[in-house]
Amino acid sequence: MDADALNFRLNCFPKLVYGVYPTPLQRLARLEKRVHGPTLWLKRDDGLGPAMGGNKGRKLEFLMADALNQGYRKVITFGGLQSNHARMTAAACAPLGLQPHLFFFAPRPPVLTGNLLFDQLLGAKLHFIPFGGQSSGDLTLEQTTRLVRWLARLLVGPGGYFMPVGGHTPLGCLGYVAAALELHQQAQTMGLPLDKTTIVTAAGTGGTLTGLLVGLSLLNSPLRLLGLDIGKLWRAFPDSLARLAGQICQLLGEYMVWRGRDIPLIQHRYAGPGYSQLDDPTRQAISLLAQQEGILLDPVYTGKAFAGMLDLIQQRYFTPAEHLIFLHTGGLPGLWAFPELVQ
């Protein structure tokens, strides 16, 4: 499928706009000299709105339009205590007059910091359920979503638009199909060698990775893709992402069969002790980018994935002739919840 055809299909879905596109693709020249490896680029999706931005802006463009068109008055979602998706959903609800309900499977912290502070400022109803918190890979993503949907219906009542963790639906992931098209065209315009270029991204629920994968595949783009799991969160994760990829294709009117092994994901290796648990490589990666380029990463997603990318460069997984585009997916409010970053 060519770019115009994909663009046409994406335009069939109503959406709101939370960003100025294309987001910048910025060279990291100073860091490059330091790491002696491939040419490094940063794709600045951290600048997308609303409310201090991040990758969820692209997913919410489709999801909020859907909630609005179906006449919902409440939006329900869930995530970890420092969920950027929850914060951005709350922000997206405000100007539409919708009531956000955010579920967290943890006790209410004594002080609300980072994203939780913003959730409260944005007028969200916060539901703290003090059990089942640390998702440790016992359930699949789909099982988790079904359980929370049932619980939320029980607690909030009917009439809420339910969004799975991370906006992880085929419709939401169209945001990253569109991003694949954007990146393909942007890299081409900027003269990057597409067949020697890899996009690297953090994978939490994997929707960003899967949307990009579907977009690049439909375009037959030579751009490569690599997701780094930051949480060890789900059982049979690649299989869930393969199912999602098939559903996204279907939504776009294409039939493609995906298997778990088609998903370009490094699982577990760079997740450290677990989701939202800070480790030394992450701390060092955040400091390195901050001090070389004046750019901040977050401790839960981008810091971990960036640390993984730096390790892969060191292991010669990529050659110096290659180009890497690290997708900065945002998450900066999470920094305030990790004072231990600076010791």
Ligand X SMILES: Cc1ncc(COP(=O)(O)O)c(C=O)c1O
* Span of 139-147, 190-198, 201-209, 315-323 interacting with ligand X by CB under 6 A: 201-209
Residue 231 as a binder of ligand X (CB under 6 A): the answer is: no
Q: How far is the CB of 294 from ligand X (least distance, A)?
A: 19
Q: Binder to ligand X among 135, 208, 240, 282 (CB under 6 A)?
A: 208
Residue 54 as a binder of ligand X (CB under 6 A): the answer is: yes
Q: Binder to ligand X among 31, 179, 202, 249 (CB under 6 A)?
A: 202
Vertex 217: Cα angle to 213 and 219 (nearest 5) = 120
Residue 306: name the closest of 287, 323, 321 by CA.
287
According to DSSP H, which parts of 190-259 are helical? 207-219, 237-251
Residue 301 as a binder of ligand X (CB under 6 A): the answer is: yes
Residue 298 as a binder of ligand X (CB under 6 A): the answer is: yes
| Per-position b or e across 264-285, b if 16+ CB within 10 A of its CB | bbbbeebbbebbbebbebbbeb
Please, which residues bridge with residue 161 across strands? 75
* Span of 154-162, 217-225, 264-272, 323-331 interacting with ligand X by CB under 6 A: 323-331
* Span of 6-14, 151-159, 251-259, 294-302 interacting with ligand X by CB under 6 A: 294-302
Residue 185 tokens read as 């065209």
Looking at the Cβ atoms of 139 and 194, the one nearer to ligand X is: 139
Q: Binder to ligand X among 38, 164, 170, 206 (CB under 6 A)?
A: 206
Contacts of 83 (CB under 8 A, 6+ apart): 102, 104, 115, 165
Q: Binder to ligand X among 50, 160, 330, 333 (CB under 6 A)?
A: 330
Looking at the Cβ atoms of 38 and 166, the one nearer to ligand X is: 166
Looking at the Cβ atoms of 145 and 302, the one nearer to ligand X is: 302
Residue 101 as a binder of ligand X (CB under 6 A): the answer is: no
Q: Could you count the other beta carbons within 10 Å of the beta carbon of residue 342?
A: 8
Q: How far is the CB of 181 from ligand X (least distance, A)?
A: 17
Binding mask 105-144 for ligand X (x = CB under 6 A): ----------------------------------------
Whether 287 is catalytic: no
- Choosing from 83, 217, 221, 276, which is the catalytic residue? 83
* Span of 25-33, 116-124, 196-204, 313-321 interacting with ligand X by CB under 6 A: 196-204
Report CA dihedral (250, 248, 215, 320) to the nearest 10 degrees. -130
Quote the CA–CA distance of 10 and 175 in Å, as a whole number: 9
Q: What are phi and psi of 224, to 5 degrees?
A: -100, 170
Identify the H or E element spanning 25: strand 25-27
Q: How far is the CB of 71 from ligand X (least distance, A)?
A: 27
Quote the CA–CA distance of 46 and 220 in Å, as a whole number: 27
Q: Cis ω on the peptide bond leading into residue 22 (within 30° of 0)?
A: yes
Quote the CA–CA distance of 93 and 69 in Å, as a whole number: 13
Residue 58 as a binder of ligand X (CB under 6 A): the answer is: no
Q: How far is the CB of 81 from ligand X (least distance, A)?
A: 12
Looking at the Cβ atoms of 115 and 221, the one nearer to ligand X is: 115
Residue 214: name the closest of 270, 268, 174 by CA.
174
Strands 224-229, 197-203: pairing is parallel
* Span of 232-240, 246-254, 310-318, 328-336 interacting with ligand X by CB under 6 A: 328-336
Reduce the DSSP state of residue 265 to 3 states and report it.
strand
What residues numbered 64-93 form the site for ligand X, per CB under 6 A? 84-85
Q: Binder to ligand X among 67, 331, 337, 338 (CB under 6 A)?
A: 331
Binding site for ligand X (CB under 6 A): 54-55, 84-85, 166, 202-209, 298, 301-302, 329-331
User: Which active-site residues does the annotation give?
Assistant: 83
